[in-house]
Amino acid sequence: MADSTRSSIVVDAPCGDVLDIIADLEAYPEWAKEITRVEILTEDGDGWPDQARFSLDAGAIKDTYTLEYTWDVEESGAGVASWQLVEATMLKAMDGSYTLTESDAGTEVVYELTVDLKVPMLGMLKRKAEKVIVDTALRDLKNRAEA
């Protein structure tokens, strides 16, 4: 069974601005260091990405994979953007979410991620790679939003 990693950060920006950055998947290679390429495969009628293909290089985990997104967000940007793995070469799971909540200091962002691999890997190495992905994504998201 895959374990989940969860972490949070407060971003000095409104939920809507943070959500716009999260939803702009094609710009991820500009600020999310592990993501080297993104291609939007399908969008819903409102322009939200439904499926996208990513290329990931996160040290021990390298793969090209497709995610399917669900956008359960309010007009303000508060809510949950979540995704599930559709297909991949090395990954068996890459499911996660960003939960955005307004706070006095801006937006609290909670990132939860579950990664599992098709190939055997020491649990310690897998958890370390997962933590690097989560911590780096939150830090880079904060830097992007506050720039």
- pLDDT one-digit tens code per residue, 74-114: 999 999 999 999 999 888 888 999 999 999 999 999 999 98
Collapsing DSSP to helix, strand or coil, 87 comes out as: strand
Inter-residue contact 105 to 15 (CB < 8 Å):
no
pLDDT at 143 over 60: yes
What is the pLDDT, as a whole number, of residue 1? Answer: 46
- Three-point CA angle 16, 19, 25, nearest 5°: 145
Buried-state track 20-31, b at ≥16 Cβ within 10 A, e below 16: ebbbebeebeeb
pLDDT digits (tens, 9 = 90+) for 61-85: 788 999 999 999 999 999 999 999 9
Query: Tokens 């559709």 — which residue?
Result: 86
Q: C-alpha distances in angstroms, 20 versus 12, 26, 99, 124?
A: 14, 12, 13, 34
Collapsing DSSP to helix, strand or coil, 3 comes out as: coil
* Domains of the chain in sequence order: 4-146 (3.30.530.20)
How much is the pTM?
0.89
Helices (H), the chain: 15-23, 28-31, 123-146
